[in-house]
Amino acid sequence: MGLNSPLLERPGDGFIQGVFKMAEFAAILLSETLRERSGYLYPMAIYPVSNWLG
């Protein structure tokens, strides 16, 4: 059907991974914005998210 088989086998895991990817992407966008204003806030914003996502 054009969908990835792992997603069909485990829709819960696929959905959660998708949410994590969106959260990571949002954090990167946020950190990029913060870096433009303050180089100090950039590592503070992205590292906890990266560690949390593994």
4-51 residue pLDDT tens: 555 555 667 778 888 888 988 888 888 788 777 665 555 555 566 556
Amino acid sitting at position 34: L
Q: Classify residue 17: in a domain, yes or no.
A: no
Q: Is residue 19 part of a domain?
A: no
Count of domains forming the chain: 1
Assigned domain for 15 exists: no
**Structural domain for 37, as ranges:** 24-54
Position 45 scores a pLDDT of 56
Query: What Å distances lie between residue 33 and 21, 41, 42, 44, 54, CA to CA?
Result: 18, 10, 8, 13, 23
Q: 3 in a domain, yes or no?
A: no
Residue 13 in domain? no
What does the pLDDT read at residue 13? 75
> What local confidence, expressed as pLDDT, does residue 46 receive?
59
Structure confidence at residue 17 (pLDDT): 84
The answer to whether the beta carbons of residues 42 and 35 sit under 8 Å apart is yes
In a domain, 5, yes or no: no
Give dist(CA 23, CA 26) in Å, integer.
5
> Is 1 among the domain residues?
no
Asked if the model's pLDDT at residue 1 lies above 50, the reply is no
Instruction: Identify whether 7 is part of a domain.
Output: no
